[in-house]
């Protein structure tokens, strides 16, 4: 196995270590206040993790949005990571290349990075509003680091197309 692929595997493992706290640690705290009769009163002060946001959306009846976040920010990244094991276990098999192509395809649908940017925009918008404040939590930084390291890992990964893949097999890949 090449040093490049070993480095890609190491980065993938690091990205998985970063993903878990990125999903369960507090990602964003939003506090809304109002000034009433010269006194500032707190309207809301909520801290949410990615998983907590999914649960909160589900509990409030926003199942479609909760499902999208769950699918693209949780399940797709976990599936990408889980497919690394058979890719390297079967590295001399045509299945290794096929699984690699599947990972490349689903990587395009992983919205973890878009979700991280969305949280950053919410943070910036809240900071620009007088009665609204937002603070990024540790989960946000873990999640953003996961996005960067995971993307770097899959950019480093190289699986060669085996010579046994015929013309008819390439269409299925």
Of 56, 113, 61, 105, give the one whose Cα is nearest residue 80. 105
Give the per-residue pLDDT at 129: 64
Q: How large is the average pLDDT for residues 144-164?
A: 78
The order of strands in the sheet holding 39-48 is 39-48, 28-36, 132-136
Q: Identify the residue whose tokens are 């999640």.
A: 143
Q: How large is the average pLDDT for residues 140-167?
A: 77
CB 140 within 8 A of CB 116: yes
pLDDT tens digit sequence for 18-69: 989 989 999 888 777 777 788 878 777 788 888 888 898 899 898 988 888 8
- Pull the structure tokens for residue 23: 């999903």
Domains and CATH numbers, the chain: 3-170 (1.20.140)
Give the per-residue pLDDT at 21: 94
pLDDT tens digit sequence for 74-87: 888 888 877 877 87
Q: How far apart are CA 21 and CA 100, in angstroms?
A: 26
Give the per-residue pLDDT at 116: 65
Q: How far apart are CA 103 and CA 81, in angstroms?
A: 9
Query: DSSP letter at 29?
Result: E
Of 131, 132, 139, give the one whose Cα is nearest residue 53. 139
Give the per-residue pLDDT at 171: 47
pLDDT tens digit sequence for 77-136: 888 877 877 877 777 777 888 888 888 787 776 666 666 666 666 666 656 566 777 778
Maximum C-alpha span of the chain? 78
Give the per-residue pLDDT at 73: 81
């Amino acid at each position: 196995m090449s040093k490049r692929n070993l480095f890609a595997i190491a980065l993938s493992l690091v990205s998985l270590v970063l993903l878990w706290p990125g999903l369960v640690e507090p990602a964003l705290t939003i506090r809304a206040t109002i000034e009433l009769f010269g006194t500032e009163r707190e309207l809301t002060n909520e801290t949410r993790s990615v998983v907590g946001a999914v649960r909160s959306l589900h509990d409030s009846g926003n199942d479609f949005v909760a499902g999208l976040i769950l699918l693209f920010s949780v399940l797709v990244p976990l599936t990408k990571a889980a497919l690394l094991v058979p890719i390297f276990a079967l590295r001399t098999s045509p299945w290794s290349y096929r699984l690699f192509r599947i990972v490349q395809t689903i990587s395009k649908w992983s919205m973890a990075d878009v979700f991280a940017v969305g949280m950053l925009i919410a943070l910036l918008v809240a900071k620009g509003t007088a009665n609204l404040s937002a603070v990024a939590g540790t989960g946000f930084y873990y999640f953003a680091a996961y996005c960067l390291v995971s993307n770097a890992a899959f950019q480093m990964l190289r699986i060669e197309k085996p010579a046994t893949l015929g013309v008819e097999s390439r269409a299925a890949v």
